[in-house]
Amino acid sequence: MKPKRQKKKVDSLIKIENFLDYNQAVQIEDKTFKKLMFIYRIAIRELETKLSILQDEFNVFYDYDLIDHINTRIKTPESIMQKMEKRHLNLTYKDMIENINDIAGVRIICPRKKDIFSIKDFIQKMPNIHIMKEKDYITYPKKSGYSSYHLIVEVPITLSQQNIYVKVEVQIRTIAMDFWASLEHKMKYKPEQEISTKEAREWVKCAKMINQLENKIMLLS
C-alpha cells in the first residue's frame, strides 16, 4: 500500500498578508512581487544552510558523503503565471501563495538510494520544519520512469517585524536519478519534435536499468 501523505494544519504564508493586500492581483513588475521573491529566497537560504550543516556533519564525524551536492532555484515570474493560468487559479497573491507550492525549490543529490530516506528522516526531525506533503516516486516511480522523493515543507524565516512560514519544494534523488531526469527533461521539452511512443518506452527501460544498478550497488556497499 502507498504511504499516507502527512498533513499538518499549520499557519503558512498567510501570515504575510501583513505585508501586502492578499487579494491584490499579481503584478510581476511591482514591489509586492519582488518582496515575495525575496522572502522565498530567504527560505531557500535557511533550508540550504541546515542541509549544508548536515552534509558537513556526516563528512567530518562519520567520514560519509550523505549528500553529494545541493541545488536551489526560484521559479521565474513567467513560469509562476503560466502555472496559475494552467490551473485556472485567480491571478491573486492569495491563490499564488496558497496553491503554487514549488516557487522555491531545493534539490538534494545523494550517492545512494538508501540515503534518500535517511535525508528525508533528518528533514522531518529538523526543529520547526513542517512537512505538508510527501510524494514517494522512489517506491512508486512515475510511468515515465521518473524517480525522486518530493516534500513540500514550511520553513520558518525571521524578519525584523515577524516570523513567517514559507513553503519550499524539496526533491531528493541519487546522482544516477538526477542524470536520467535531466536527460529526460531535455528530451521531453526538445523544441524540434515530440517524443514518440517508442522513444518513451526506451526512456522507461533506461530508468529501470538505472534502478536495478542502484539496487545492486546498495547490496555491495
What is the tens place of the pLDDT at every residue in 36-94?
999 999 999 999 999 999 999 999 999 999 999 999 999 999 999 999 999 999 999 99
Which triple of cell numbers denotes residue 129?
520544519
As a whole number of Å, the CA-based R_g of the chain is: 19
Burial of 190 (0-12, 13-18, 19+ CB in 10 A): exposed
Partnered with residue 202 across adjacent β-strands are: none
Classified as helix, coil or strand, 103 is coil
Amino acid at 120: K
Class of domain 13-175: alpha beta
176/45 Cα distance (integer angstroms)? 26
**What are the φ/ψ torsions at residue 107 (nearest 5 degrees)?**
-115, 125
2/165 Cα distance (integer angstroms)? 28
pLDDT at 8: 44
pTM of the model as a whole: 0.81
What is the tens place of the pLDDT at every residue in 72-85?
999 999 999 999 99
92/84 Cα distance (integer angstroms)? 9
Classified as helix, coil or strand, 86 is helix
206/45 Cα distance (integer angstroms)? 34
- Domains of the chain, residue spans: 13-175
